[in-house]
Amino acid sequence: KAGVTQTPRYLIKTRGQQVTLSCSPISGHRSVSWYQQTPGQGLQFLFEYFSETQRNKGNFPGRFSGRQFSNSRSEMNVSTLELGDSALYLCASSSRRVSTGELFFGEGSRLTVL
């Protein structure tokens, strides 16, 4: 079956702009979680959506937001971009809540903020 698809794969923005990233989970998966990956910091949890509801949120400022649609596809938005937002953003889907199931990761969206 098709894996987790993230778009766009690469993007370049300037400070102050906003960006929207998209994630299509594996068919049948209701949980989508988002992670920020930067060198030396590992995978930083952003938020998890399950059946269109945000179930959990990490320690990120309010500039980071997300949503999930009825077909389980998810988007995350970062407003007023800062240089420090440059990172690989990974989306993961699961048939169960994040903490109890195997996560299937997408290849990520690499964001560069200039």
Kindly state the smallest distance separating residue 84's Cβ from another protein, in Å. Answer: 17
User: What whole-number distance in Å separates Cα of residue 59 and Cα of residue 24?
Assistant: 24
Question: What is the token pair recorded at 43?
Answer: 């995978």
Q: What is the secondary structure of 15-77 as a DSSP string?
A: TT--EEEEEEPPTT--EEEEEEEETTTEEEEEEEEETTEEEEE-S--TTEEEEE-TTS-EEEE
The answer to whether 102 contacts another protein (rule: CB under 8 A) is yes
The answer to whether 84 contacts another protein (rule: CB under 8 A) is no
Kindly state the smallest distance separating residue 42's Cβ from another protein, in Å. Answer: 4
How far is C-alpha 19 from the geometric centre of its chain's CA atoms?
Answer: 12
Q: Which is nearer to another protein, 72 or 108 (CB)?
A: 108
- Local structure of 4: helix, strand or coil: coil
The answer to whether 43 contacts another protein (rule: CB under 8 A) is yes
Q: Which of 2, 41, 53, 62 binds another protein (CB under 8 A)?
A: 41
The answer to whether 70 contacts another protein (rule: CB under 8 A) is no
Binding site for another protein (CB under 8 A): 4, 33, 35, 40-45, 48, 55-56, 58, 90, 92, 97-100, 102-108
